[in-house]
Amino acid sequence: MQFNYHPPMHQVPPPHIKALSPDFETPHFKQALSRFATGVTVITTFAPGAHKGDSVSSSFVGITASSFNSVSLTPPLVLWSLGQSASSAPLFHAGTHYVVNVLAADQLDVCNRFAFGKGDRFADTAYTLGASGLPILDGALAWFECHNRSRHEEGDHVIFVGEVERCGFSDGSAPLVYQGGRFSTTVALS
């Protein structure tokens, strides 16, 4: 069934009108955004050339990201956004695939490692390789192996849209939740 909604003409802004300049400072914007509770993911991809013989450097990079969201069921699409200044940004641009790992409440150490860790973030991280050859983190609540379908530069971030080739999940574990700059988990209300 097709859903045709035509808003009254007076509610549609004319296309030539641009956004007004913000009437707030960035910290205020960040505080408002932080009220939105999200899950936490670690997104992993391949780092070609990073593996040097027997050195501790792994062949992978990964970052903590709370910007993950669903886009489409058919085809199966997800999105997340990456800061342009992230050192791993060139690798996420160039790679054909990445894995989105949804963290469980008992993975706060993993979250911090992939947000702030120096050196090889995989050295103390347990994982298995998925069909794309990329790390699926042990203990993740869910994982999505994605083809790097498209990228959209917007402001100081790039929105990545991934086409999900394979996914999996576990039942029973609680999610890691990020809200107001703090970590928690869910409490059922219904």
Ligand X SMILES: Cc1cc2nc3c(=O)[nH]c(=O)nc-3n(C[C@H](O)[C@H](O)[C@H](O)COP(=O)(O)O)c2cc1C
Residues in contact with ligand X by the rule CB under 6 A: 40, 63-67, 81-83, 86-88, 114-115, 178
Q: What are phi and psi of 58, to 5 degrees?
A: -90, 175
Q: Which residue's CB is nearer to ligand X, number 50 or number 115?
A: 115
Cβ at position 18, least distance to ligand X in Å: 27
Nearer to ligand X, 31 or 131 (CB): 31
- State both tokens at 16: 């030539």
Question: In this complex, which beta carbon is closest to ligand X, that of residue 47 or of residue 164?
Answer: 47
> What are 43's two structure tokens?
């997104």
Residue closer to ligand X by CB (options 114, 144) is 114
CB of 41 to ligand X, least distance (A): 8
Smallest distance from ligand X to CB 112, Å: 7
Task: Give the tokens for residue 93.
Answer: 């641009």
Q: In sequence order, what are the beta bridge partners of 127?
A: 137
- Give the burial class of 38: count Cβ atoms within 10 A of its Cβ; 0-12 exposed, 13-18 middle, 19 or more buried: middle
Please list, residue by residue across 73-97, b when 16 or more beta carbons sit within 10 angstroms of its beta carbon and e when fewer do.
eeebbbbbbbeeeeebbebbeebeb
Question: Minimum CB separation from ligand X for residue 81, in Å?
Answer: 6
